[in-house]
Amino acid sequence: MKNLHDWLLAHHIELNDFTLIQRAFIHSSYLNENPNEDFEDNQRLEFIGDAVLQLWSAKYLYDRKPALTEGQMTKMRASLVNEASLCNMAIVLGLNQFLRLGQGEIRENGTEKASIVADMFESFLGALYLDSGFEPIDSLLKSIIDQIELSEKHQNDDYKTRLQEFVQADDKRSIEYILVSESGPSHERRFEMAVYIDKMMFGKGYGNSKKRAEQAAAKVALEKLVR
């Protein structure tokens, strides 16, 4: 696809604010190398997109036939919205080709790096929701969902869901993830997350995204609890 305009036309998406959609593809590394550009990076849109995706996936799974149990929906949603699946969706749609990255990320093949592509996809959904509401998101995701595996392929690596199921067998217990530290340049961020169960820290984890660090922390906590 030559450009984003052509992509939107091919997918029958009409926009009110094209600039908003463009922002979804601007990685922080691009702005760090182009400080005079009058743009904002995609991190705030990612926050909106994450919430939109959670709602869409919950509704999609709720409507599946035959009806799924709450436990089944929880596991399948975790598989659907994890980093690997989001990256896969974006690449299937061809959206990763429109990423605007710094030269360092370009040299490291950032357009196929799961953490960058998944975050961009959430940002794109956030921008699309703010511009046009839920309908185009629903149509777009349903058009590719059959190409995205919803089996248990990724579930063994979803330590957050496994920890939640283990702990919340007693519904009075709570789980909270807290950012401990964030370091490194924009193209090589390092996050440290801690997981608290009933206000007590059970583990810390590290990763190049908050989501990966949370998974690492959940893995540590789960191993402690199982022991």
3-state DSSP assignment of residue 181: strand
Structure tokens at 93: 């749609």
Residues taking part in catalysis:
50, 122
Beta-carbon contacts of residue 220 (< 8 Å; ≥ 6 apart): 195, 202, 203, 204, 205
3-state DSSP assignment of residue 192: strand
Element (H or E) spanning 139, and its range?
A: helix 135-144
Q: Compute the distance between CA of residue 127 and CA of residue 108 in angstroms, rounded to an integer.
A: 26
Q: Compute the distance between CA of residue 132 and CA of residue 148 in angstroms, rounded to an integer.
A: 24
